[in-house]
Amino acid sequence: MIRCQALRWGAPGQPLTPALNIELPKGSLTAVVGANGCGKSSWLKVIAGLQKPLAGKVMLEVPRKGALSFLPQQQHLDRQFPITLEELVAAGFWGSQRSPEGRRQRLDQVLADWCLSGLEQRPLMALSGGELQRALLARLSLTDAPLLLLDEPHAALDELGQALLWKHLHAWHAAGRTLVVVCHDLAAVRQHMPHTLLIKSSGCVFGSSTDLLRQQPQTQVA
């Protein structure tokens, strides 16, 4: 569960929206939409504890430390960092109690699930944008965190990559995980995500994706 109480965020002295009060129940699947610069990514960072709010507070109902996983936009990743795709994905095992054999088996399975088999030893700088995004999502697959925050997970993905993304998002949701997803593809939001938080400078609106996005001009949310 995520509860925001009188929450305001943004640059010091410049809150992006009026105070936000919202509660997302455990096991929910919520899209976050809004115009560029409205505060979608920074809201996720506040929830993840990576950015301090200007006012109010965030309360998370999580069973243990490390129960939250955050997928940032790939532009924040240093592609010159000297690791391979396999090493990037395997970072998702952080804190895992699996045996080395179990890790190897699970890693191979996840790489295959995201169509990354054969790319294991390729350095980050040699990956296409879509390959890197699938690797970041594969890393997320290795975590067992019940709360997942994803910032534009569809970025750089081709048709196959997007199909894999929605397949996994629905599987994670069906497993009882709580997901919050920043997304600019409004058609996909209407098709795949039951609830949407629309962030605007005049105030945030939460509701059914179908109803909320039908009422809003696309220029206001894309």
Query: How many domains are there within the chain?
Result: 2
pTM for the predicted model, two decimal places: 0.91
**Domain range enclosing 183:** 1-67+145-222
Q: Measuring CA to CA, which residue among 136, 141, 107 is closest to residue 124?
A: 136
Question: Is 90 exceeded by the pLDDT of residue 196?
Answer: yes
In a domain, 27, yes or no: yes
What's the pLDDT score for residue 87?
A: 96
What's the pLDDT score for residue 98?
A: 85
In a domain, 198, yes or no: yes
In a domain, 74, yes or no: no
Q: Of the residues 110, 143, 176, which one is the last residue of a structural domain?
A: 143
What's the pLDDT score for residue 221?
A: 53
Write out pLDDT tens, residues 91-150: 999 877 788 899 999 999 999 999 999 999 999 999 999 999 999 999 999 998 999 999
Q: Taking a C-beta distance cutoff of 8 angstroms, is the pair 84, 30 a contact? A: no
Q: Judge if 149 and 139 occupy the same domain.
A: no
Q: Measuring CA to CA, which residue among 206, 202, 159, 201 is closest to residue 193?
A: 206
Lowest mean pLDDT among 82-86, 96-100, 118-122, 196-200: 96-100
What's the pLDDT score for residue 213?
A: 87
> ∠ at Cα 208 (6, 172), nearest 5°?
90
Mean pLDDT of 152-173: 96
The 10 Å Cβ neighbour count of residue 146 is 20
Q: Judge if 63 and 156 occupy the same domain.
A: yes
Q: Of the residues 105, 126, 143, which one is the last residue of a structural domain?
A: 143
CATH code of 16's domain: 3.40.50.300
Q: Judge if 84 and 114 occupy the same domain.
A: yes
On average, the pLDDT of the chain sits at 92
Q: Of the residues 111, 143, 175, which one is the last residue of a structural domain?
A: 143
